[in-house]
Amino acid sequence: MADVAHGAAGPAPVAEHDDVELYHPKSWVTKYVFSQDAKVIAIQYSLTALAIGLVALALSWLMRMQLAFPGLLSFIDAERYYQLITMHGMIMVIYLLTALFLGGFGNYLIPLMLGARDMVFPYVNMLSFWIYFLAVMVLVAGFFVPGGPTGAGWTLYPPQAILASTPGQQWGIVIMLASLMLFIIGFTMGGLNYVVTVLQGRCRGMTLMRMPLTIWGIFTATVMALLAFPALFVGAVMMTLDRLIGTSFFMPSIIAMGERLAYRGGSPILFQHLFWFFGHPEVYIVALPAFGIVSDLISTHARKNIFGYRMMVWALVAIGALSFVVWAHHMYVSGMHPAFGFFFATTTLIIAIPTAIKVYNWILTLWRGDIHLTPPMLFALGFIVTFVNGGLTGLFLGNVVVDVPLSDTMFVVAHFHMVMGVAPILVVFGAIYHWYPKITGRMLNTALGKLHFWITFLGAYAIFFPMHYIGLMGVPRRYYEMGAMSFVPPSTVDLNIFITVVALIVGAAQLVFLFNLFWSLRRGESSGGNPWRATTLEWQTPQTPPAHGNWGKELPVVYRWAYDYSVPGAAQDFLPQNQPPEPGVTEGARP
Amino acid sequence: MGIAIVLVLVVIGSVAFHFLSPWWWTPIASNWRYIDDTIIVTFWITGVVFAAVVLFMAYCVLRFRHREGNRATYEPENKRLEWWLAIGTGIGVAAMLAPGLVVWKQFVTVPGDAATVEIVGQQWQWSYRLPGADGRLGATDAAHVTPENPLGLAPNDPYGQDDVIIQGDQLHLPLGKPVKLLLRSLDVLHNFYVPEFRAKMDMIPGVVTYYWLTPTRTGTFEALCAELCSTGHAFMRGGVVVEPGSNYQAWLQQQKTFAQLQAPSRAQARN
């Protein structure tokens, strides 16, 4: 049973092949700009994603201002409001979270954690970032074109998305679709790279079942993304054709503002299927890397092996597979054939089982651990609370008939922000506090980190927990203003003001984090190579930050799984993966 | 230490908010009490799980936080515990799913004696059509839409002539009679949503969708659009009046049929 931990003694044999000389940068430009080093690309991805994420944060402030104080900011009219929600949603889901987890953490951690010198296709990796960067630039250009960005909602549902009454119909929607296509092209280059590196680039001894769960999460999410993004891509192409040359893929006969348009016979609901065939796996594309990373944060900072490693791996894979057969739970009230409801409700609730297993194993890892309440651990604990909360409200929305009253209300907004907004972002923060020392050689300031954690965690919970109840009353989402609603008590206005005030505070608290990032770069305490006394390979590099090629002359050899913490008999409470078996140490259940 | 207390407070605060805050659903006015019941069951199951997980975390943080000389135990797996947890979760999930699917079956099975009402959405107003004396709605097509025929009824369909057309007014429904709402859109997606009825469904141009309900309480209820339909979305409001059968009949008598509404323009065409 414990062969999960060690398997046969010593490294597993792998096919030998000659080391290929890396392309070493010859100038400042090839070192820092058009770099082929996965670590530099990772930082480029991360900084770009965080920068565009700050834009999305500012947009959310404006939306919250409008909801709490309608009309106070006179430049927010209905058109502007719908542009805000569209851009906020799209940026957060795709350009921030997907890019940061896969392009950022994926690039940094895959080669280092697997004992590789770099990604297997460094040049394609470089192209991947620059196409992503271009996609972000095109997206931002949407703010400056005539008519502004599209206000179709982040789901871009036709026919509305390309009709004249929708803001940004002239340029904005075309820009958005073009940017999405670029993103997908860029991602595909990166994604193939991550998958091939995981399958082919591991060092000696690093079997699949010895990989840290971070890598399992990123790997599974990448495979899913490679399968899911094409659906969005073809949807975007078809909608672009509908918009620009008048095809009718998604457009039936329409009377718009009293005039009959030339479209005939298309199906708006076809787009919804394509969108959610991408969109639901997308939720897990964001969640699975977070699951993986948080597993490693908890294990390292609780000084205890992750509980039920094999179950954790299979749960990740099961969630990944199941997430391709649940997409229409976003469409229970879309008007699709009602019989689908039975199937999709069943698959959706089944996915709760592997997800719950992951939660149990996280908290059972805490059980009888030696819990160090470092910032990464605090963020991991915050993640569990918000993820469990958001996951449980998913059981409302996944259960088809319960979804009927709640769908399209603020309950949905609260749910998905809790589960795929707050929860993964808490992991992002925890991960940055955790790996910043490896990236820079310096620790982030702990006091500032704890301040950042408390405001962000409690604030985010205070924003989104009460919001569920606004939806439960029946207030629809995507309302420019609530106006008078006979079924809503007047005190709801106060609740909206409360949420907005907290949102402003939580947003401002991110400045503490940014300050910490920059300040610690120079002034932070020097970290050494392995400040958390962690087992995984990235902490065992000869230099910190790791040099190009990561490992100096010799690649590491792996002898054990990633979770040998507090092994009975061992002198230290951790055994690095590349440490050979010692005589006399029990080595858990099997040597 | 601090975090353990905060985790406990998060649980207490959430439960207190749930029971004590003034924000709760509006009293129901349709037969879909089953939906409310399923939500309550779900609240209980998920609430207990949430409290258990977070309190367990609080205990762990308190009990197993780092102190000098502590060492974690080494326990990679516990197959028996893992399987029991998985099975327990499966039972909890089934306890929510089973009633959910039973109620969904009812939700999509329209009773044979349900009356029919058509609701038409367009940016940003609602119109209604009743089948008239013959009990059948006439055919429609977007191609027939004109200022005089805003809902696009086929001009020569005999079934459509006595259809009652209601524009710029509230929809009336008789109390206690099941009604099937046929949903149609002329332009973009809309969704006819009355919170007191607990039911909703998108309207899609080119497709007729539906849901059904039985009004169980008299009153005037607000109808909202629940699917983003561009800038006027938040202002696309309507109303539904539920009243006893006799009042309903009196209201129905005053409404105009398609043929009556067409009469002036047809007379004009003849001249």
Complex ipTM tops 0.85: yes
pLDDT at A571: 87
pLDDT at B271: 60
Nearest residue on chain A to B55, alpha-carbon basis: A385
Q: Would an 8 Å CB–CB cutoff place A86 in contact with chain B?
A: no
Cross-chain residue pair A356–B89, CB shorter than 8 Å: yes
Which of B7, B9, B230 best probes binding to A when mutated, by most A CB atoms within 10 angstroms? Answer: B230
pLDDT in tens, A425-461: 999 999 999 999 999 999 999 999 999 999 999 999 9
pLDDT in tens, B156-206: 999 999 999 999 899 999 999 999 999 999 999 999 999 999 999 999 999
Start-end of H helices in A489-557: 491-523
For residues A403 and A395, give the distance between their C-alpha atoms in angstroms, rounded to a whole number: 9
Residue B223 clears pLDDT 80, i.e. is over it: yes
pLDDT in tens, B5-41: 999 999 999 999 999 999 999 999 999 999 999 999 9
pLDDT at A16: 57
Answer for the pair A436, A444: CB distance below 8 angstroms, yes or no.
yes
- Among A334, A357, A461, select the one facing B202 at the smallest CB separation: A334
Region A120-129 average pLDDT: 95
Token pair in block for residue A405: 């009253």
Token pair in block for residue A310: 């094999």
pLDDT at A1: 37
Q: What are phi and psi of A476, to 5 degrees?
A: -70, 155
Residues of B in contact with A472 (CB under 8 A): 23-25
Token pair in block for residue B57: 């975390």
Closest to A151 measured CA to CA, from B16, B138, B234, B240: B234
- Distance between B2 CA and the closest CA of chain A, angstroms: 10
Residues of A in contact with B195 (CB under 8 A): 405, 473-474, 487
Residue A402 clears pLDDT 90, i.e. is over it: yes
Q: Would an 8 Å CB–CB cutoff place A334 in contact with chain B?
A: yes
- Distance between B259 CA and the closest CA of chain A, angstroms: 21
Region A122-146 average pLDDT: 96
Residues of B in contact with A392 (CB under 8 A): 46, 49-50
pLDDT at A125: 95
- Distance between B162 CA and the closest CA of chain A, angstroms: 24
Token pair in block for residue B262: 């067409």
Which of B10, B11, B14, B23 best probes binding to A when mutated, by most A CB atoms within 10 angstroms? Answer: B23
Q: What 3-state DSSP class applies to A259? A: strand
Residues of A in contact with B193 (CB under 8 A): 408, 474, 476
Secondary structure percentages of chain A, helix, strand, coil, to 5: 65, 0, 35
Residue type, A461: Y
Residue A45 clears pLDDT 70, i.e. is over it: yes
Mean pLDDT of chain A: 92
Q: How confident is the model at residue A590 (pLDDT cuts 50, 70, 90)?
A: very low
pLDDT in tens, A8-34: 445 555 555 566 677 788 888 888 899
Q: How far is CA A149 from CA A78, A92, A145, A156, A207, in A?
A: 13, 16, 7, 12, 47
Answer for the pair A467, A409: CB distance below 8 angstroms, yes or no.
no
Which of A1, A249, A272, A371 best probes binding to B when mutated, by most B CB atoms within 10 angstroms? Answer: A371
Token pair in block for residue B249: 């009949």
Which of A358, A402, A495 best probes binding to B when mutated, by most B CB atoms within 10 angstroms? Answer: A402
Q: How far is CA A539 from CA A15, A307, A439, B122, in A?
A: 25, 22, 10, 61
pLDDT at A440: 96
pTM (2 decimals)?
Answer: 0.94
Mode of pairing for the β-strands spanning B202-203 and A259-260: unpaired
pLDDT in tens, A245-281: 999 999 999 998 788 999 999 999 999 999 999 999 9
pLDDT at A27: 87
Cross-chain residue pair A255–B17, CB shorter than 8 Å: no
Residue A536 clears pLDDT 70, i.e. is over it: yes
Q: How confident is the model at residue A206 (pLDDT cuts 50, 70, 90)?
A: very high
Nearest residue on chain B to A486, alpha-carbon basis: B222
Q: What 3-state DSSP class applies to A119? A: coil
Answer for the pair A279, A330: CB distance below 8 angstroms, yes or no.
yes
Cross-chain residue pair B25–A302, CB shorter than 8 Å: no
pLDDT at A307: 94
- Among B42, B231, B235, select the one facing A395 at the smallest CB separation: B42
Q: Would an 8 Å CB–CB cutoff place A151 in contact with chain B?
A: yes
- Distance between A277 CA and the closest CA of chain B, angstroms: 19
- Among A302, A352, A566, select the one facing B89 at the smallest CB separation: A352
- Among B49, B66, B141, select the one facing A392 at the smallest CB separation: B49
Residue B72 clears pLDDT 80, i.e. is over it: yes
Residue A54 clears pLDDT 80, i.e. is over it: yes
Residues of B in contact with A312 (CB under 8 A): none
Q: What percent of chain A has pLDDT over 90?
A: 88
Half-sphere exposure of A161 (CA within 13 A, CB side): 27
The DSSP code sequence of A157-199 is -TTGGGSTTSTTTTTHHHHHHHHHHHHHHHHHHHHHHHHHHHH
- Among A402, A483, A566, select the one facing B39 at the smallest CB separation: A402
For residues A437 and B212, give the distance between their C-alpha atoms in angstroms, rounded to a whole number: 60
pLDDT at A586: 53
Q: What are phi and psi of B212, to 5 degrees?
A: -135, 160
Which of A:237-256 have CB within 8 Å of B? Answer: 252-256
pLDDT at A591: 29
Which of B41, B49, B93 best probes binding to A when mutated, by most A CB atoms within 10 angstroms? Answer: B93
- Among B64, B200, B224, select the one facing A371 at the smallest CB separation: B64
Answer for the pair A105, A42: CB distance below 8 angstroms, yes or no.
yes
Q: Would an 8 Å CB–CB cutoff place A390 in contact with chain B?
A: no
Residues of B in contact with A78 (CB under 8 A): 231-234
Q: How far is CA A322 from CA A317, A318, A584, in A?
A: 9, 6, 44
pLDDT in tens, A285-331: 999 999 999 999 999 999 999 999 999 999 999 999 999 999 999 99
For residues A416 and A394, give the distance between their C-alpha atoms in angstroms, rounded to a whole number: 8
Residue B148 clears pLDDT 70, i.e. is over it: yes
Cross-chain residue pair A402–B25, CB shorter than 8 Å: no
Answer for the pair B190, B236: CB distance below 8 angstroms, yes or no.
yes
Q: Would an 8 Å CB–CB cutoff place A486 in contact with chain B?
A: yes
Cross-chain residue pair B79–A1, CB shorter than 8 Å: yes
Which of A:405-444 have CB within 8 Å of B? Answer: 405, 407-409
A–B CB contacts, 8 A cutoff, strictly below = 337
- Distance between A475 CA and the closest CA of chain B, angstroms: 8
**In the block, which residue shows the tokens 């718009």?**
A256
Q: How confident is the model at residue A465 (pLDDT cuts 50, 70, 90)?
A: very high
Nearest residue on chain A to B44, alpha-carbon basis: A392
